[in-house]
Amino acid sequence: MNDEQLLRYSRHILLDDIGIEGQQRLLDSHALVIGAGGLGSPVALYLGTAGVGRITLVDDDTVDLTNLQRQIAHRQDRIGQAKVESAAQSIREINPGAEVRAVQQRADAALLDELVASADLVLDCSDNFATRHAVNRACVKHRKPLVAAAATGFDGQISVYDRRQSDCPCYACLFPPDSRFEEQRCATMGVFAPLVGIIGSLQAAEGLKLLAGMADGLRGRLLMLDARTMEWNEIAVRRDESCPCCAE
Protein backbone atom coordinates (compact mmCIF):
# COMPACT_ATOMS: atom_id res chain seq x y z
CA MET A 1 0.00 0.00 0.00
CA ASN A 2 1.17 3.52 -0.75
CA ASP A 3 0.88 6.46 1.66
CA GLU A 4 -2.45 7.61 0.23
CA GLN A 5 -3.97 4.14 0.63
CA LEU A 6 -2.62 3.85 4.18
CA LEU A 7 -4.39 7.10 5.03
CA ARG A 8 -7.60 6.34 3.10
CA TYR A 9 -8.04 2.94 4.75
CA SER A 10 -6.55 3.85 8.13
CA ARG A 11 -9.80 3.26 10.05
CA HIS A 12 -9.90 -0.31 8.76
CA ILE A 13 -6.23 -0.82 9.47
CA LEU A 14 -6.77 0.26 13.08
CA LEU A 15 -9.18 -2.65 13.56
CA ASP A 16 -7.41 -5.72 14.96
CA ASP A 17 -9.68 -8.02 12.94
CA ILE A 18 -8.60 -6.36 9.66
CA GLY A 19 -5.27 -4.59 10.04
CA ILE A 20 -2.73 -4.20 7.25
CA GLU A 21 -3.05 -7.82 6.15
CA GLY A 22 -6.84 -7.77 5.89
CA GLN A 23 -6.88 -4.47 4.03
CA GLN A 24 -4.33 -5.80 1.58
CA ARG A 25 -6.58 -8.81 0.99
CA LEU A 26 -9.40 -6.42 0.13
CA LEU A 27 -7.18 -4.53 -2.29
CA ASP A 28 -6.18 -7.79 -3.96
CA SER A 29 -9.77 -9.09 -4.21
CA HIS A 30 -12.31 -9.24 -7.03
CA ALA A 31 -16.01 -8.95 -6.13
CA LEU A 32 -18.86 -9.67 -8.55
CA VAL A 33 -22.09 -7.76 -7.86
CA ILE A 34 -25.25 -8.92 -9.62
CA GLY A 35 -27.72 -6.05 -9.74
CA ALA A 36 -27.10 -2.31 -9.44
CA GLY A 37 -30.45 -1.26 -7.98
CA GLY A 38 -31.71 -0.93 -4.42
CA LEU A 39 -29.44 -3.55 -2.85
CA GLY A 40 -26.64 -3.22 -5.37
CA SER A 41 -26.25 0.50 -4.72
CA PRO A 42 -25.04 0.32 -1.09
CA VAL A 43 -23.19 -2.92 -1.81
CA ALA A 44 -21.22 -1.40 -4.69
CA LEU A 45 -20.54 1.87 -2.86
CA TYR A 46 -19.30 0.22 0.33
CA LEU A 47 -17.15 -2.31 -1.50
CA GLY A 48 -15.62 0.49 -3.53
CA THR A 49 -15.03 2.87 -0.64
CA ALA A 50 -13.69 0.09 1.61
CA GLY A 51 -10.95 -0.77 -0.87
CA VAL A 52 -12.00 -3.87 -2.79
CA GLY A 53 -9.52 -3.68 -5.65
CA ARG A 54 -11.70 -4.97 -8.50
CA ILE A 55 -15.49 -4.80 -8.73
CA THR A 56 -17.59 -6.14 -11.59
CA LEU A 57 -21.16 -4.80 -11.77
CA VAL A 58 -23.79 -6.66 -13.81
CA ASP A 59 -27.23 -5.24 -14.64
CA ASP A 60 -29.10 -4.73 -17.91
CA ASP A 61 -31.38 -1.93 -16.67
CA THR A 62 -31.21 1.86 -16.98
CA VAL A 63 -31.83 4.52 -14.34
CA ASP A 64 -35.47 5.58 -14.00
CA LEU A 65 -37.02 8.38 -11.94
CA THR A 66 -38.78 5.83 -9.71
CA ASN A 67 -35.39 4.35 -8.77
CA LEU A 68 -34.15 7.51 -7.09
CA GLN A 69 -36.32 7.01 -3.99
CA ARG A 70 -33.98 4.27 -2.79
CA GLN A 71 -31.15 3.47 -5.26
CA ILE A 72 -28.52 5.74 -3.77
CA ALA A 73 -25.79 5.09 -6.35
CA HIS A 74 -27.78 6.99 -9.01
CA ARG A 75 -28.58 10.65 -9.62
CA GLN A 76 -31.28 12.74 -11.31
CA ASP A 77 -28.98 13.72 -14.17
CA ARG A 78 -28.29 10.04 -14.95
CA ILE A 79 -31.86 9.08 -15.79
CA GLY A 80 -31.69 6.91 -18.91
CA GLN A 81 -28.06 5.94 -18.26
CA ALA A 82 -27.10 2.30 -17.68
CA LYS A 83 -27.28 1.53 -13.97
CA VAL A 84 -23.90 -0.20 -14.02
CA GLU A 85 -22.26 2.87 -15.56
CA SER A 86 -23.99 5.17 -13.07
CA ALA A 87 -22.92 3.05 -10.10
CA ALA A 88 -19.37 2.77 -11.43
CA GLN A 89 -19.20 6.55 -11.76
CA SER A 90 -20.37 6.99 -8.16
CA ILE A 91 -17.70 4.61 -6.89
CA ARG A 92 -14.94 6.35 -8.84
CA GLU A 93 -16.04 9.76 -7.59
CA ILE A 94 -15.39 8.59 -4.02
CA ASN A 95 -12.45 6.28 -4.66
CA PRO A 96 -10.58 6.86 -7.93
CA GLY A 97 -8.34 3.90 -7.15
CA ALA A 98 -11.13 1.35 -7.46
CA GLU A 99 -11.11 -0.71 -10.65
CA VAL A 100 -14.74 -1.06 -11.73
CA ARG A 101 -16.01 -3.03 -14.71
CA ALA A 102 -19.57 -2.28 -15.83
CA VAL A 103 -21.38 -5.09 -17.67
CA GLN A 104 -24.74 -4.00 -19.05
CA GLN A 105 -26.16 -7.47 -19.68
CA ARG A 106 -28.72 -9.75 -18.14
CA ALA A 107 -27.06 -12.23 -15.80
CA ASP A 108 -27.76 -15.41 -17.75
CA ALA A 109 -26.06 -18.79 -17.25
CA ALA A 110 -23.35 -18.26 -19.87
CA LEU A 111 -22.32 -14.84 -18.56
CA LEU A 112 -22.37 -16.03 -14.95
CA ASP A 113 -20.24 -19.05 -15.76
CA GLU A 114 -17.60 -16.71 -17.17
CA LEU A 115 -17.72 -14.02 -14.48
CA VAL A 116 -18.13 -16.15 -11.36
CA ALA A 117 -15.09 -18.24 -12.27
CA SER A 118 -12.81 -15.20 -12.04
CA ALA A 119 -14.32 -13.64 -8.89
CA ASP A 120 -13.33 -14.16 -5.26
CA LEU A 121 -16.82 -13.34 -3.99
CA VAL A 122 -20.31 -12.99 -5.46
CA LEU A 123 -23.00 -10.71 -4.06
CA ASP A 124 -26.50 -11.35 -5.42
CA CYS A 125 -28.52 -8.13 -5.41
CA SER A 126 -31.00 -9.24 -8.08
CA ASP A 127 -34.78 -9.08 -7.75
CA ASN A 128 -36.07 -12.40 -9.10
CA PHE A 129 -35.79 -16.10 -8.31
CA ALA A 130 -34.65 -17.15 -11.78
CA THR A 131 -31.54 -14.97 -11.55
CA ARG A 132 -30.90 -15.95 -7.93
CA HIS A 133 -30.91 -19.63 -8.83
CA ALA A 134 -28.68 -19.03 -11.86
CA VAL A 135 -26.20 -17.16 -9.65
CA ASN A 136 -26.34 -19.92 -7.05
CA ARG A 137 -25.68 -22.64 -9.63
CA ALA A 138 -22.61 -20.81 -10.90
CA CYS A 139 -21.31 -20.27 -7.37
CA VAL A 140 -21.78 -23.96 -6.51
CA LYS A 141 -20.07 -25.01 -9.73
CA HIS A 142 -17.03 -22.78 -9.16
CA ARG A 143 -17.11 -23.09 -5.34
CA LYS A 144 -17.28 -19.35 -4.77
CA PRO A 145 -18.85 -17.77 -1.66
CA LEU A 146 -22.21 -16.10 -2.24
CA VAL A 147 -23.84 -13.34 -0.19
CA ALA A 148 -27.51 -13.30 -1.24
CA ALA A 149 -30.23 -10.95 -0.06
CA ALA A 150 -33.74 -9.82 -0.91
CA ALA A 151 -35.89 -6.86 0.09
CA THR A 152 -39.44 -5.85 -0.76
CA GLY A 153 -42.14 -3.95 1.07
CA PHE A 154 -40.89 -3.76 4.65
CA ASP A 155 -39.31 -7.24 4.68
CA GLY A 156 -35.68 -8.14 4.08
CA GLN A 157 -33.48 -11.21 4.37
CA ILE A 158 -29.82 -12.11 3.95
CA SER A 159 -27.55 -15.14 4.25
CA VAL A 160 -24.15 -16.43 3.15
CA TYR A 161 -23.91 -19.59 1.07
CA ASP A 162 -20.38 -20.94 0.88
CA ARG A 163 -19.85 -24.34 -0.72
CA ARG A 164 -16.14 -24.20 0.01
CA GLN A 165 -17.27 -25.73 3.29
CA SER A 166 -18.85 -29.15 2.78
CA ASP A 167 -21.54 -28.71 5.44
CA CYS A 168 -22.64 -25.24 4.30
CA PRO A 169 -25.94 -25.06 2.38
CA CYS A 170 -26.42 -23.41 -0.98
CA TYR A 171 -29.30 -21.08 -1.83
CA ALA A 172 -31.29 -23.95 -3.37
CA CYS A 173 -31.13 -25.92 -0.11
CA LEU A 174 -33.36 -23.25 1.42
CA PHE A 175 -35.31 -22.16 -1.67
CA PRO A 176 -35.63 -25.20 -3.98
CA PRO A 177 -35.82 -24.23 -7.65
CA ASP A 178 -38.96 -26.30 -8.21
CA SER A 179 -40.87 -24.61 -5.39
CA ARG A 180 -43.50 -22.04 -6.23
CA PHE A 181 -42.82 -18.82 -4.41
CA GLU A 182 -44.97 -15.77 -4.97
CA GLU A 183 -42.70 -13.32 -6.75
CA GLN A 184 -42.95 -9.87 -5.18
CA ARG A 185 -41.30 -7.01 -7.03
CA CYS A 186 -40.75 -3.41 -6.04
CA ALA A 187 -42.54 -2.21 -9.19
CA THR A 188 -45.84 -3.70 -8.01
CA MET A 189 -45.43 -4.13 -4.24
CA GLY A 190 -43.39 -1.07 -3.34
CA VAL A 191 -40.39 -0.96 -1.02
CA PHE A 192 -39.54 1.10 2.06
CA ALA A 193 -36.59 3.19 0.93
CA PRO A 194 -34.19 2.62 3.88
CA LEU A 195 -34.84 -1.14 3.86
CA VAL A 196 -32.60 -1.75 0.86
CA GLY A 197 -29.94 0.39 2.50
CA ILE A 198 -30.07 -1.69 5.68
CA ILE A 199 -29.99 -5.05 3.93
CA GLY A 200 -27.51 -3.94 1.27
CA SER A 201 -25.16 -2.61 3.95
CA LEU A 202 -25.33 -6.00 5.68
CA GLN A 203 -24.45 -7.65 2.38
CA ALA A 204 -21.44 -5.39 2.00
CA ALA A 205 -20.39 -6.11 5.59
CA GLU A 206 -20.59 -9.89 5.10
CA GLY A 207 -18.73 -9.62 1.81
CA LEU A 208 -15.93 -7.50 3.23
CA LYS A 209 -15.49 -9.85 6.18
CA LEU A 210 -15.23 -12.84 3.85
CA LEU A 211 -12.68 -11.12 1.63
CA ALA A 212 -10.65 -9.91 4.61
CA GLY A 213 -10.48 -13.45 6.01
CA MET A 214 -12.64 -12.83 9.08
CA ALA A 215 -15.00 -15.17 10.94
CA ASP A 216 -17.90 -17.16 9.51
CA GLY A 217 -20.58 -14.48 9.87
CA LEU A 218 -23.91 -15.55 8.39
CA ARG A 219 -22.87 -18.90 6.95
CA GLY A 220 -25.70 -21.33 7.71
CA ARG A 221 -27.94 -18.60 9.12
CA LEU A 222 -30.82 -16.75 7.47
CA LEU A 223 -31.31 -13.30 8.98
CA MET A 224 -34.71 -11.66 8.44
CA LEU A 225 -35.92 -8.13 9.19
CA ASP A 226 -39.44 -6.77 9.58
CA ALA A 227 -38.78 -3.05 9.21
CA ARG A 228 -42.29 -2.14 10.38
CA THR A 229 -41.43 -3.18 13.91
CA MET A 230 -37.64 -3.36 13.48
CA GLU A 231 -37.73 -6.95 14.66
CA TRP A 232 -34.94 -9.30 13.60
CA ASN A 233 -35.42 -13.04 13.35
CA GLU A 234 -32.92 -15.75 12.52
CA ILE A 235 -33.17 -19.38 11.50
CA ALA A 236 -30.45 -21.97 11.17
CA VAL A 237 -30.11 -23.32 7.64
CA ARG A 238 -28.75 -26.81 7.06
CA ARG A 239 -27.51 -28.37 3.87
CA ASP A 240 -30.07 -30.52 2.07
CA GLU A 241 -28.37 -33.81 1.19
CA SER A 242 -30.84 -34.23 -1.70
CA CYS A 243 -30.49 -30.66 -2.99
CA PRO A 244 -30.73 -30.67 -6.81
CA CYS A 245 -27.97 -28.07 -7.01
CA CYS A 246 -25.26 -28.96 -4.50
CA ALA A 247 -25.80 -32.68 -3.78
CA GLU A 248 -22.54 -34.50 -4.45
pLDDT on residue 177 = 86
Distance, in Å, from the CA atom of 79 to the CA atom of 228, rounded to the nearest integer, reads 30
Note the pLDDT tens digit of each residue in 61-75.
999 999 999 999 999
More confident residue, 164 or 228: 228
Our answer to whether residue 125 is catalytic in this structure is no
pLDDT in tens, 74-93: 999 999 999 999 999 999 99
How confident is the model over 95-150, as pLDDT tens digits? Answer: 999 999 999 999 999 999 999 999 999 999 999 999 999 999 999 999 999 999 99
Domains of the chain in start order, with CATH, are: 3-236 (3.40.50.720)
The pLDDT confidence band at residue 163, using thresholds 50, 70 and 90, is confident
165 pLDDT higher than 90? no
pLDDT at 187: 60
Burial 217-242 (b: 16+ CB within 10 A, else e): bbbbebbbbebeeeeeeeeebebbee
The one catalytic residue in 139, 168, 186, 245 is 186
Spatial CA neighbour of 161 closest among 134, 178, 143, 180: 143
Q: With 90 as the cut, is the pLDDT of residue 189 above it?
A: no
> By C-alpha distance, which of 151, 156, 129, 168 is closest to 246?
168
- Asked whether the predicted pLDDT for residue 183 surpasses 60, the reply is no
Residue scoring higher pLDDT (215 or 239): 239
Query: What are the pLDDT digits (tens) for 18-50?
Result: 999 999 999 999 999 999 999 999 999 999 999
**Average pLDDT of the residues in 187-195:** 86
| Mean pLDDT of the chain, nearest integer | 94
